[in-house]
Every structure is written in C-alpha cells, then in structure tokens.
Amino acid sequence: MKIVTTRDNLLKPLQQVGGVVERRQTLPILANVLINAGNGKINITATDLEVEMKTTTVVDCDSETDFTLPARKLLDICKALPEESTIELNVENERVVIKSGRSRFTLGVLPANDYPSIEPSASSHRFTITQKLLKRLIEKTQFAMAIQDVRYYLNGLLLEMNEGLIRAVATDGHRLALSEAECVLGQETGLQVILPRKAVLELARLLSDSEDLIEIDVSSNHIRFTIAETSFTSKLIDGKFPDYQRVIPMNTDKEITADRDQLKQALMRTSILSNEKYRGIRFNFSSGLLKLLAHNPEQEEAEDEMEINYQGDELVIGFNVGYLIEVLNVIETESVKLSLSDSNSSCLIQNMDSEQCRYVIMPMRL
C-alpha cells in the first residue's frame, strides 16, 4: 500500500501527538504511533496508557491499512526533509519504506493490533467552552501543581464546573493558584475532576488563543477534549482534592499594593544570594517601604528596597522567593495587591482590578 502526502502535512500532526510518547516506556510499542489509513486520510494516535492523543490529516492513499511506526524516528525524518517536499510511504509486510526526493528510509513496524487504546466509559457530562478560556485557566494555575508528591491528588489540576462558572485550582501544599471565568455550561453543577500533571501540560501545548470551541466529555474515570480534527483523552486522578476555599485568607487587615515589574525585578536580584535549597527571603513591610533581605550558608547577603503603597504597622515575614516570582509571571496588571494578617499567616496575591485569579503563599520561618 502507498501513502503520498507533503512533509508539512505529516509534520504538524506528528509534532502534536509527539509529546505524549514517553522516551522511557515499559512496552516497546508505546514508543510508536498508530497510523490508520483509508478514505483519503490517516489517523495518527499516540498514548502512554494514561493519556492518548489522536489527530487526522488528509493524504492520498490507495487502500486501507493499519500499522505502527517509531514516533521519534518518523518525526526526526520529517523535520530533516526540505520544506514542501513530497513524502511517499510504502507499507510492506514488516517495514515501511519512506521516500522523498533522493532520500530513502526503511523503518520497522509493530502490529497495529497490539497497540493499546484508552476506551472511556460512557460520557456523563458534556459541554463546550472556547480554547482561549481553557488555555488561560491552565496557564494561570499549572505552575502550582505538585511534582511526584505522595498525595497523588496534588500532582494535577482541579477543574470545577458550576452553572455559569468554570474554575481551575492547583496546589502543592505550600502555595495555591486559583483562576476562574464566567461561561455558560448548560446544566452542569458542582462537577469536580482532577487532571494528571502530564495531561495538563499536553493540553496547554495543544490549545490556542482562538475563540474556537472545544468539546469536553467527562465520564467516571476519563475526560476527553475534542478540537476540530484532534481528540485528547486522559485518565482522571481518583482522589478528593483538598477544600481549597479554607486556605484562602479572608479577614486580612494589611493591604499592600506595589508595581508588579519593580517587585519582580527586586525579588530576582535578591534571590541571587538566597539559600539555593530553601529560597527564603525576609520581607520587611513598613509605611511606604518594602525591604528585602536574603542570605545563604556562605554568609553572603543581598538587600534591596522599593517603594510600596502601604500604611500600617511594621510586618516582617519570610517567603519562598521562587513561589512569588512564579505568581508575578502570570499576573498581567501593572500593579499587584498583597493581603496579609501577620507573620504567621498566608499571603493572598491578586490582580488589582479583578478577583478572577487568586494566589495563596504560605510563610516560611527564617
């Protein structure tokens, strides 16, 4: 069987699904992509047994066939070929010969029947939102997900759907990120699902800033996102997400506003001499002024200060500087608002003009 297409037509879907393929996999076939050819198109599928991405592209093919090819090698071949070149795939018994111009590659195949598939149970909830909205929710919160925490439900992102509102929440136990947006979801109320970390990162790559709709299907143990010719399926984390509302400071009596960019630059300068392991910095808030102090085991110190909008009692508190910088990276307003109670309580960080994004950082003992 022969498949003919252009290099760019094959490269884009391969790049889309390529992130799903694990470099170190338990089953050899998981290093491959599944290709289903027929009716003038090919479906390309990649999976690691936790997430699965499937996309379609139009080709010229003379019959129907299914086969698998090594994902990384096929992608590298397409990248190395000249732009707008024609690619011909000749499918033989246990190999595929790829021809383009004077180049020729022979790849081994594994049986398509052995390729694992994620089959979700019947969808219990279905709704649509724009790609731009979902991408924004993920980008504003994903940095706060835990990495390989024994509390497995923290190694992911909570999506909460209520009528008229969708919310994303991530926490690693030391900081929390929450972003929400108004949208019409139909009859969904109080639905909570936890997406695994890898699914969140791949979804962020897949989404664009367009107003195009994405269809979301939720079943008891899977979630599926469908965007035009591409579908992305992921297992859900089975666990109870912490009651995040309890950790958001409510009765704070100290409010500080500061220039976001100035604060970020001062934190980056001071962090150079902070303890590399704990990244702690001392914040000294006084009327109209913030002093920053960092030191490390080599007895080195860094000090910085900046003007802030604050009228109140002096307050000294420690924070992980990396956590603060990550929050300032995703806040878009020129000024940022910090709400505090005392040196032992969490800090609430927000945009100046909206409560759609809220960030909570626990203090450090320095």
DSSP string of 179-191? EEEE---TT--SE
The arithmetic mean of pLDDT across residues 297-323, rounded, is: 96
pLDDT tens per residue, range 5-26:
999 999 999 999 999 998 887 8
Does 187 score more than 80 pLDDT? no
Q: Report helix, strand or coil for 222.
A: strand
pLDDT for position 90: 94
**Other Cβ atoms closer than 10 A to 64:** 10
Identify the band that residue 164 occupies on the pLDDT scale cut at 50, 70 and 90. confident
Tens-digit pLDDT profile for residues 102-114? 999 999 999 999 9
Residue 262: its H or E element = helix 260-271
Q: Which pLDDT score, from 0 to 100, does residue 93 have?
A: 81
28 secondary structure, DSSP code: G
Please tell me the predicted confidence (pLDDT) of residue 1.
86
How far is the C-alpha of 257 from the C-alpha of 180, rounded, in Å? 22
CB contact at 8 A, 44 and 3: no
Separation CA 271–CA 38 (nearest Å): 57
The residues near 333 (Cβ < 8 Å, ≥ 6 apart) are: 260, 351, 352, 353
At 120-144, the pLDDT tens digits run: 888 888 889 999 999 999 999 999 9
Looking at residue 63, what is its pLDDT? 86
Q: What's the burial of 267, exposed, middle or buried (CB within 10 Å: 0-12/13-18/19+)?
A: buried
Per-residue confidence band for 297, with pLDDT thresholds at 50, 70 and 90: very high
Is 213 a residue whose pLDDT tops 70? yes
Query: What structural domains and CATH numbers belong to the chain?
Result: 2-114 (3.10.150.10), 125-245 (3.10.150.10), 248-361 (3.10.150.10)
> Could you tell me what percent of the chain has a pLDDT over 90?
86
Residue 317 DSSP one-character state: E
pLDDT value at 359 more than 80: yes
pLDDT digits (tens, 9 = 90+) for 38-94: 989 999 999 999 999 999 999 998 889 999 999 999 999 999 999 999 999 999 888
185, pLDDT greater than 80: no
User: Quick one: average pLDDT of 208-225?
Assistant: 93
Q: Residues 306, 309, 315, CA angle at the centre, nearest 5°?
A: 75
Q: Reply yes or no on whether the pLDDT at 188 is more than 70.
A: no
In angstroms, rounded to a whole number, what is the distance separating the alpha carbons of residues 349 and 284? 17
Structure tokens at 74: 């096929």
Query: At residue 206, does pLDDT exceed 70?
Result: yes
Task: Judge contact between 33 and 68, C-beta under 8 A.
Answer: yes
Percentage of the chain lying above the pLDDT 70 cut: 99
Cβ-contact 346, 324 below 8 angstroms = no
